[in-house]
A and B are shown apart, each in its own frame.
Chain A
């Protein structure tokens, strides 16, 4: 059953994609995620996926569009500036309802920024970074193991809902080495009668498009998309709870920050502070019901969000808590990872204030 290995996050992700039956990969090198395409290039002779280094991220995401529309299980990976270039394509992919997996191994911005890890692309990921009303399913791995698990899950969810899924990771998770359990290769049998594979005499032609020039029709398309997003919201919220049962202070963090915050919770509890961690695993759909539930408990005094950004997820927490509890934010920028001590210090101050 499976295989256990010591692997880098990016390489584990690539290996997971192969095992998930990925048929096509299109990407453009960018630090800190180039190991994905490098790994796939090395492994290519042993498998029969299509691998192409595109001329840009713009081309890569449109290759993903074409391959997905042709019925293939397909992926691209990039880091922040590259993900910005993919936004138009992702909007088309979402509207044309094409399943695929995209990965942003996030680095510090804005601009060319730094190649150090960051969580500054949260809004871009969860708000639909391109034009129009659409969503990506956003998974936030916090370990090399979850780089593997979420890649497999991303493909499954993308196919299940005919929608693009993404992993929002960061440079630290992408670069770190950890022990991982790799799954056995998953037999993947595409069942995509809508795909453009050639109009055989037994069916009408298949058309993949995001163009609906008549407003009435475009409104209906939007209704259909929204109904799908509602279904995803109802069924696919994932989160992890850590010592929330008696928590009076709720810290929220995802990805790399959530690992630091676990340590913060342990340290806090050693000193008698009843702190618990709520870690969103899906950033969209966001665990808003869970936040609302915690916010209405008398024992919970306040929430705070810890992010490697100037504070983006904190807005979703505020929306979900509907003003019932104070929501604070602590973050570091520019690729700096906060230490457990500084986060605990921040929490202590807030406890004194409340």
Chain B
């Protein structure tokens, strides 16, 4: 450290430091960092177990310096259910994409939420299948072009994009549901607060905590990182509004 300088910001020690494989501008890296900041601030690194199913973040265990399980595509909620039930005093989170949580794994998601499994879902909704090269997701917006909806999503054929926060907040045993993003410093601060609250509610054993990230995918969306932020603002947030859907002690939305 140079004389006269002081460290005011650095990588949380709970990140391994391995260079991430995520594309430039992708929110996956930002959410990873925030999540590990929360783990560190709550001093629960030795008690945290993460589940990362197939999707761009399947390699999350390379970066998150906590015990991790990789899971089959769609099955993170079942895996996390069992981990939390076997080790109820640990902090358990699943880190899932929209294809994972809202298409192939919908049954596991719904039933874990309905049982009120006491773990935290971190749901990265980027409206696309990032890992497999940009195919249509259950959350792809009306008219949005992907490699399997090359003329734009035709909702008359494939239905409307699924609103998972709106769905899971209906379950009695789900404690906390919030949709966050990290397109601006202000939203990032809110996002981190939400992640922390989810862990705190989990610690209190209040039930399922569900954080959806209105995320981006510059590569899959075939745009620059800057353009992806515009798309979020113009197209995503109007359909997927940010904010709290349900929180302990507060009236449901």
Q: Which residues of A contact B (CB under 8 A)?
A: 23-24, 26, 50, 52, 54-56, 58-60, 62-67, 69-72, 74, 88-89, 92, 96, 196-201, 205-211
Contacts and interface: CB of A to CB of B under 8 A. Distances in A.
Interface string B67-103: 1111110010011111101110010000000000000
B190 interface: no
B67 A198 contact: yes
A206 B46 CA distance: 11
A121 B67 CA distance: 36
A29 B83 CA distance: 22
Contact of B82 (A24, A56, A199, A208): A24
A207 B86 contact: no
Contacts of A196: 49, 67-69, 83
B114 to A, nearest CB: 9
Interface residues of B, number: 31
Nearest to A209: B70
Main secondary structure of the interface of B (DSSP, over half): helix
26 contacts: A50-B82, A52-B81, A54-B111, A55-B108, A59-B75, A59-B78, A59-B107, A62-B79, A65-B69, A65-B72, A66-B78, A66-B80, A66-B83, A67-B85, A70-B82, A89-B72, A92-B72, A196-B68, A198-B46, A198-B49, A198-B66, A199-B66, A201-B46, A207-B61, A207-B70, A209-B61
A48 to B, nearest CB: 11
Contacts of A96: 70
A209 to B, nearest CB: 4
Interface string B30-54: 0000000000000001111101000
Interface string B57-68: 011010001111
Contacts, number: 126
Contacts of B48: 198-199
B86 A62 contact: no
A208 B67 CA distance: 8
Given A55-B108, A65-B71, A199 B45 contact: yes
Nearest to A71: B86
A30 B45 CA distance: 40
Contacts of A88: 72
A225 B248 CA distance: 48
A63 B90 contact: no
Given A197-B90, A198-B90, A63 B61 contact: no
Nearest to B115: A52
A211 B51 CA distance: 13
A311 B70 CA distance: 38
